[in-house]
Structure 1
Amino acid sequence: MNRLAHHQGILKFFTTLGSTLYFSKPVMKHLVHIVDAMVTKGFSGTLTDLHHGSFHPNHRTTLSHFFTKSPWDEEALLRKLQQWMLHRVERNAKRENQPIFVSIDDTICQKTKPSSQATNAIQGCDWHYSHTEKKSIWGHSLVWLMVHTATQAFPFAFRLYDKAAGKSKGELAIEMLSSLDVSRPVYVLMDSWYPSQSLVKACLKKGFHVIAMLKTNRILYPNGIAIQAKQLARSIELDDTHLVTVGEDHYRVYRYEGTLNGLDHAAVLLVWKADQPMTSEHLHCVLSTDQELSDEDILRYYAQRWSIECFFRQAKDQLKLDGYRVRHHRAVKRYWILVQLAYVYSLFESNSDFSDGLDLLRKRKGHSLVEFIYSAAKQNIPIDTIKKQLHVA
């Protein structure tokens, strides 16, 4: 592995996961180099970057083979990573005396639509509607599940949303939730696109509570009368609400407790920002299946969902979650798992924040390169040999 000191740190992380006992040395060498390249500044997602950014001693084609045809078990690696993440989250939640949060959301990895003459298009791509861009985008749609406490968030699992396979995003979320086995109280957080009856029931069946944004046309039953939330909101006066502060933000809140379609008992908060008019355009509806929570706790807990949005942005900007050029379905999935691994490794090294961890790793790599060159010079290793090993020949 070119005897670069910072590679030992990555190898130590794999040892912590227990994967060094499971995978062969050649597989471990590839994994260490790939994670090294992904956390390198300027990484674009290409195999060339994976090769050059980690000073991989083998030819670049071996990386293509590793992603596409090599028989190593990426699911086993993911299971090891998930076991470590759950242990870390449970330990943090217990120490902080806080619940565990699980956030569900999806993101699109945008790709270029190939021409009809293209012989090797990336497998699994389709048109998906982007709510942020308000239009359909060509690429892969991934449903992600994050596990987190108030202080640290981990990307736990993902599923590719494939229209042809016939499973909805909600069904994919239920699949991922089924693998979660924790002893702490759990709150599942989701935006208004996800809280279907089946998904909410699946959460409750596992003993998890749900806090979710609802669409304002959701039917409520005040005094047994069916009415849309936004219609109910029109009858609410300022004096019917109370002020709730979450962080630096202030909200006007009206609390409904009762029946929803598919739920016998739940709390729904009708919420407006305190500095905005109480109109239906500014209305937000927040569901909590835990009626014991205060209004402040419901809003404070829901705010934790922001961590999954941060993950999407960081994983795309810094680790190029959507930058891959590999085309085979399994190769793409392996790439995503390794981005997930690189993200968690950055958290592991900083013990807190992804950005701090990434900065630390990049500085460590710079020091490692200087030390490598200095050590090689002291041993009178020819400069051309050093250049070749560092891919600058």
Structure 2
Amino acid sequence: MTDVRYWSFHPNHRTTLSHFFTKSPWNEEKRLEKLQEWILRQIERLAKRTNQPLFLSMDDPICQKTRPSSRAAHAIQGCDWHFSHSDHQWVWGHSLVWLMVHTFSQAFPFAFRLYDKTAGRSKIDLAIEMLSSLKGKRAQPVYVLVDSWYPSQALIEACLKQGFHVIAMLKTNRILYPKGIAIQAKEFARYIEPNDTRLVTVGNERYRVYRYEGAIHGLDDAVMRLAWKADEPMTPDYLHVA
């Protein structure tokens, strides 16, 4: 707030500005809607000028907090225990589901939702809700980028309904149906030989990549890449699926 007052050249004390922001009546939904419209205009103009697709990135970071004492009169509202994949343990804090809109060169935070375990709504539900706010046809192709927790049937169908493409990491236990036979990706990978793959270079890394096209659990037609680093064994332990 001190910085906002400084750069606004407001002559009064910063508490006056703080009072204005905290006490004045705000139509938050309307302000967010106008902000999102401005963001989409900016990003679509850039994408059209540079002939780039639009990307929608989704994630669920944890804003970690200090665990309150059992004698604390007022714990931080909305905090709970959440599993942190970066820390490999349960941490105390807020879990947010957020959506970024970007091209290759510029990105904007578009929307976020606080995940509350007691509210009865999953992270998938919150993600679909945010994606539904992107209404209307886009001139450029749109790709939704998510990690292995999000590519459920419900989210994929919601994206396809709006004409969005989905690029996602998948868990290695995802069920595939090669020739109609149900098998986990990590088990299917045991039958892939080095000669069945292609060497692909990404940056300074080289990968052995196998292309699978067909049915997977929750989707009748999908294209998947099963990949290993070229200098690592082609075993399920080193497998990446997308």
With normalisation by structure 2, the TM-score equals 0.91
Q: Which runs of 5+ in 1 are unaligned?
A: 1-29, 38-53, 287-393
Normalized per residue, the structure richer in strand is 2
1:84 corresponds to 2:38: yes
What is the CA–CA distance in structure 1 between the aligned matches of 2:230 and 2:26, rounded to whole Å? 55
What is the CA–CA distance in structure 2 between the aligned matches of 1:282 and 1:191, rounded to whole Å? 17
Letter in 1 for 2:55: F
What is the CA–CA distance in structure 2 between the aligned matches of 1:61 and 1:114, rounded to whole Å? 31
Describe how 1:24-103 pairs up with structure 2 within 5 A: 33=4, 57-58=12-13, 60=15, 63=18, 65-66=19-20, 68-103=22-57
Normalized per residue, the structure richer in helix is 1
Q: Indicate if the aligned counterparts of 1:33 and 1:56 stay in contact, CA closer than 8 A.
A: no
Aligned to 2:157: 201
Describe how 1:171-320 pairs up with structure 2 within 5 A: 171-181=125-135, 182-183=137-138, 184-286=140-242
Q: Which runs of 5+ in 2 are unaligned?
A: none
What is the CA–CA distance in structure 2 between the aligned matches of 1:248 and 1:60, rounded to whole Å? 52
Letter in 1 for 2:91: I
Q: How many Å apart are 1:120 and its aligned residue?
A: 2.9
Distance change (3 Å), C-alpha of 1:139 and 1:104: same
Q: Which runs of 4+ in 1 moved over 3 A?
A: 34-37, 54-57, 59-62, 65-70
Q: How many Å apart are 1:87 and its aligned residue?
A: 0.8
What is the CA–CA distance in structure 1 between the aligned matches of 2:147 and 2:105, rounded to whole Å? 21
Aligned to 1:6: none
Q: How many Å apart are 1:70 and its aligned residue?
A: 3.2
What is the CA–CA distance in structure 1 between the aligned matches of 2:49 and 2:227, rounded to whole Å? 32
With normalisation by structure 1, the TM-score equals 0.57
Q: How many Å apart are 1:94 and its aligned residue?
A: 1.3
Question: Residues 44-80 of structure 1, C-alpha deviation per residue, up to 9 Å, x if partnerless?
Answer: xxxxxxxxxx9983254862x4555432233333222
1:109 corresponds to 2:63: yes
What is the CA–CA distance in structure 2 between the aligned matches of 1:36 and 1:211, rounded to whole Å? 41
What is the CA–CA distance in structure 2 between the aligned matches of 1:61 and 1:120, rounded to whole Å? 27
Q: How many Å apart are 1:82 and its aligned residue?
A: 1.3
Letter in 2 for 1:58: H
What SS class does the counterpart of residue 94 from structure 1 fall into?
helix
Q: With CA pairs under 8 Å and 6+ residues apart, which has the higher RCO, 1 or 2?
A: 1
Q: How many Å apart are 1:81 and its aligned residue?
A: 2.0
Distance change (3 Å), C-alpha of 1:168 and 1:76: same
Letter in 2 for 1:92: L
Distance change (3 Å), C-alpha of 1:56 and 1:231: farther
The structure number with the bigger radius of gyration is: 1
Question: Residues 208-249 of structure 1, C-alpha deviation per residue, up to 9 Å, x if partnerless?
Answer: 111100000111111111111001111111000001223333
Letter in 1 for 2:52: Q
Residues paired across the two proteins, number: 240
1:148 corresponds to 2:102: yes
Q: Indicate if the aligned counterparts of 1:127 and 1:139 stay in contact, CA closer than 8 A.
A: yes
Q: Percent identity?
A: 66
Q: Indicate if the aligned counterparts of 1:250 and 1:273 stay in contact, CA closer than 8 A.
A: yes
Distance change (3 Å), C-alpha of 1:258 and 1:121: same
Q: Indicate if the aligned counterparts of 2:2 and 2:14 stay in contact, CA closer than 8 A.
A: no
What SS class does the counterpart of residue 214 from structure 1 fall into?
coil
What SS class does the counterpart of residue 101 from structure 2 fall into?
strand
Q: How many Å apart are 1:151 and its aligned residue?
A: 1.2
